[in-house]
Amino acid sequence: MDVFGSFALLLAFVCAVYAFGGGIAAIITRHPLLIKSTRQAGIATCGLIFLATISLEYLFFSDNFSIAYVVSHSNRDLSTFYKIAALWSGQEGSLLFWSFLLAVYVISVLLTYRNKNGELMPYVGVVMAGVQIFFLTLNNFVASPFKALASPGADGVMNYVARADGNGLTPLLQYPEMVIHPPNLYSGYTGFTIPFAFALGALLARYPGEKWIHLTRKWTMIAWMFQSAGILLGAHWAYAVLGWGGYWGWDPVENASLLPWLTGTAFLHSVMMQEKRGMMKVWNVWLVFCTFLLCILGTFLTRSGVVSSVHAFAQSSIGTWFVGFLVLIITVCFGAYLKNRDYLKSENQLDSIVSRESSFLFNNLILLVACVAVLSGTLFPVFSEWFTGNRISVGAPFFNKVNIPTGLLLLFLTGVGPLLAWRKTSTESLKRNFGWPLGIGLFAGAVALVFGFREIYSWVCLILCVFVASTVGLEFYRGAKVIRARSGASFAASAVDLTMRNTRRYGGYIVHMGMVFVFIGLAGAAFNRDVQKDMRQGDTMQIGAYTLVLQGFDTRPEKNYTAQRVLVEVLRDKKPMMMLYPEKRRFNTTVENGTMVAIYSTLKEDLYVVYPGNSPDTDLPVLHAYLNPLVKWIWFGGAVVVLGTLVALLPNRRAVLVLSGAQQPAAQPLAQGLASPVTLREGHD
């Protein structure tokens, strides 16, 4: 099966090269048969990558310990669940997995548009094939997952060998989220290839109008959704497994995943200005380019060892390939832009500073500044070493200081943006739209002050969260009220109807609401506290309203590991509540240990108990308990963000012009006589 997999990968490489070279020839000659054959070569490339991926999974499931990658990342006792995850647990397999996900996107694009956009698709196909060639080069010639295990014999000749069992999967990865977090994150990274291919293709083809934007909107949203889910699942994994009581440590690899998310978010907003007003064409193209570049840069950071991280893959020379690829992409993007920049001439014209357009400009500015701050902080240790010879580390305190104000500004704009009209917002409209939300937000702030809320950032965050939630709530309320007046349906049914009539706008609002929940959760971090103690049986530990009593200690043998559990009884106000079982796992095949944190989670707070091991001084179990307020809101917010994106991806049930007879007064008529009854103060769409 390894030979089959290797051959499939090699053939995939050949097909991708043909799709690329033949694609260029097809663009020049415009020969229909050549165009068709290169598209089919693209499809064949994807099919062959699927076969190679299945082959590697087969090697894991058949415990083929003659393959180096299988030996390094699996063992006989590893559960089926984690044998799937073993595919992406190391450098070689994760690169194949990257190719696999890219192939899923590429084949979807090629099949979706097989008979459409004939002028553009050959260019898009060439760009996608170019990206595939790079990753297939790595899969075939730099980091092949199908390398046989070999050891030097007495004569110095390498002999192929097979081991009885493998080294097993890294304990940190043996957690359910590791089966879903990397696929989500990688789907985000690879997904941004599609808008990149369309943007570069449209630029090279001088494809007219905003069609490439319409074509890629869904693909960008899908990639963005996966990236968001991947980031939050990664944060949850860190929270539940690493046992340090937090979910985001500003680790370089975490930061790498955030960078394309920030520029991708900026693109999803600024693209609306191009769709609606024909503005910011150059900016949008470069935002897509940068997002893709940051995906590759993030992969480079994770895999090259240039920055130290607990999440990084082993240091290797693969970084040079990524640097080369980055330089190549930048060159191609600049070349294409310089050659065809006249094609990107925008119809930039602004009626008023107080408008949706301005808010999007500031939104983009804040997102880009956040991106620059995270990137410069992440790379600062490298730069400081280059310039001064000393590697100066940059930890969480720096990132928090720099990014918290930026995040709050962004949260403010999340509330302001949807309330502003396109082109111009009148003073009357400002008063009507901002009065209640601002009042409710300030009232919440005052109540918080009265009840002793003294953390300034959390206090501001609370006010802004209430403000944004009120704006979103009022938007739903106003729209649903109009529908209810016409249809007589219940308010909830009217709200659903409203959402389904304009999924993009109201899906966007749901995403904003999800972000509010995430920010509420983040604000809670200011009030985290923890206690650590060496505990004898019967000893108690107090944290907040909870009393933890160490009731015992047991050892539970499992198939792949032995769990040492601490039995902790939790009392609240002296009343027994539950038992928690934080554990430490000793794996059979590795010297590394894993921790399983016990978490009692409510919307108010998380009681988070870690058993990191026994104290070297007393040999007693050490119990580390944290009380982390509001953390659950982050995971809930993440789910709402995904739900909102899914809603935004749905087609509209009916045209929005159905609202034309509504009683809601139109805020800003666009062009008298053309669309006067339609409200122009559109939401987030």
Partner 1 sequence: MIKARSIAAITLLAMFGTAPLFITPLGAEQLTDRAKEVGGKFMCVCGCNQVLTGCNHVNCPSSVPMLKELSGALARGDSEDAITQMFVQEFGTKVYAEPPKTGFSLVAWVFPKVCLLVGAGLVVFVIARWRKRPAPLAAPAGGAPGISAEMLERARAQASRETQD
User: Interface residues for partner 1 in 217-256 (CB under 8 A)?
Assistant: 242-246, 249, 251
Q: Where are the alpha helices (DSSP H) in 307-395?
A: 318-340, 356-388
Among 162, 350, 578, 650, binds partner 1 (CB under 8 A): 350
Among 1, 25, 179, 365, binds partner 1 (CB under 8 A): 365
**Residues 144-183 vs partner 1: string with x where CB under 8 A?**
----------------------------------------
Tell the smallest beta-carbon distance from residue 274 to partner 1 (Å): 11
One-letter amino acid identity for 328?
A: L
Q: Where are the alpha helices (DSSP H) in 252-317?
A: 252-277, 281-304
Question: Is 622 an interacting residue with respect to partner 1 (CB under 8 A)?
Answer: yes
Q: What are phi and psi of 462, to 5 degrees?
A: -60, -45
- Residue 255: which region, alpha, beta or left (left: phi > 0; alpha: psi -120 to 50)? alpha
Task: Tell me whether residue 94 or residue 406 sits nearer to partner 1 (CB atom).
Answer: 406
Which tokens belong to 27? 């663009």
Task: Tell me whether residue 41 or residue 379 sits nearer to partner 1 (CB atom).
Answer: 379
Task: Tell me whether residue 537 or residue 542 sits nearer to partner 1 (CB atom).
Answer: 542
Task: Tell me whether residue 406 or residue 433 sits nearer to partner 1 (CB atom).
Answer: 406
Task: Tell me whether residue 340 or residue 652 sits nearer to partner 1 (CB atom).
Answer: 652
Question: Is 646 an interacting residue with respect to partner 1 (CB under 8 A)?
Answer: no
Q: Are 241 and 185 in contact (CB under 8 A)?
A: no
Segment 538-577, which members bind partner 1 (CB under 8 A)?
A: 544
Cα–Cα distance measured from residue 256 to residue 374, given in angstroms and rounded to the nearest whole number = 9
Question: Is 616 an interacting residue with respect to partner 1 (CB under 8 A)?
Answer: yes
Tell the smallest beta-carbon distance from residue 679 to partner 1 (Å): 8
Question: Is 23 an interacting residue with respect to partner 1 (CB under 8 A)?
Answer: no
One-letter amino acid identity for 572?
A: R
Task: Tell me whether residue 92 or residue 605 sits nearer to partner 1 (CB atom).
Answer: 605
DSSP class of 589: S
Question: Is 615 an interacting residue with respect to partner 1 (CB under 8 A)?
Answer: yes
Among 84, 323, 571, 678, binds partner 1 (CB under 8 A): 678
How many residues bind to partner 1 according to rule CB under 8 A? 108
Task: Tell me whether residue 242 or residue 259 sits nearer to partner 1 (CB atom).
Answer: 242
Tell the smallest beta-carbon distance from residue 609 to partner 1 (Å): 12
Sheet holding 605-614, edge to edge: 529-534, 621-629, 605-614, 598-601
**Dihedral over Cα of 631, 634, 635, 640: its sign:** positive
Q: Where are the alpha helices (DSSP H) in 451-502?
A: 456-487, 491-501
Task: Tell me whether residue 557 or residue 616 sits nearer to partner 1 (CB atom).
Answer: 616
Tell the smallest beta-carbon distance from residue 429 to partner 1 (Å): 16
Question: Is 527 an interacting residue with respect to partner 1 (CB under 8 A)?
Answer: yes
Question: Is 348 an interacting residue with respect to partner 1 (CB under 8 A)?
Answer: yes
Neighbouring residues of 594: CB distance < 8 A, sequence distance ≥ 6: 171, 172, 174, 175, 241, 561, 584, 585, 587
Task: Tell me whether residue 60 or residue 207 sits nearer to partner 1 (CB atom).
Answer: 207
DSSP states of 188-223 as a string?
HHHHTHHHHHHHHHHHHHT--TTHHHHHHHHHHHHH
Neighbouring residues of 231: CB distance < 8 A, sequence distance ≥ 6: 185, 254, 257, 258, 261
Task: Tell me whether residue 174 or residue 471 sits nearer to partner 1 (CB atom).
Answer: 471
Cα–Cα distance measured from residue 424 to residue 48, given in angstroms and rounded to the nearest whole number = 53
Segment 429-488, which members bind partner 1 (CB under 8 A)?
A: 436, 439-441, 443-444, 447-448, 451-455, 462, 466, 469-470, 473-474, 477, 481
Among 524, 582, 594, 637, binds partner 1 (CB under 8 A): 524
Q: Are 9 and 100 in contact (CB under 8 A)?
A: no
Tell the smallest beta-carbon distance from residue 435 to partner 1 (Å): 10
Task: Tell me whether residue 65 or residue 476 sits nearer to partner 1 (CB atom).
Answer: 476
Neighbouring residues of 319: CB distance < 8 A, sequence distance ≥ 6: 300, 303, 304, 305, 306
Question: Is 304 an interacting residue with respect to partner 1 (CB under 8 A)?
Answer: no
Question: Is 281 an interacting residue with respect to partner 1 (CB under 8 A)?
Answer: no
Question: Is 670 an interacting residue with respect to partner 1 (CB under 8 A)?
Answer: yes
Tell the smallest beta-carbon distance from residue 339 to partner 1 (Å): 24
Question: Is 274 an interacting residue with respect to partner 1 (CB under 8 A)?
Answer: no
Question: Is 665 an interacting residue with respect to partner 1 (CB under 8 A)?
Answer: no
Neighbouring residues of 223: CB distance < 8 A, sequence distance ≥ 6: 187, 188, 190, 191, 192, 194, 195, 264
Segment 375-434, which members bind partner 1 (CB under 8 A)?
A: 376-377, 380-381, 383-384, 387-388, 390-398, 401-402, 406, 422
One-letter amino acid identity for 108?
A: S
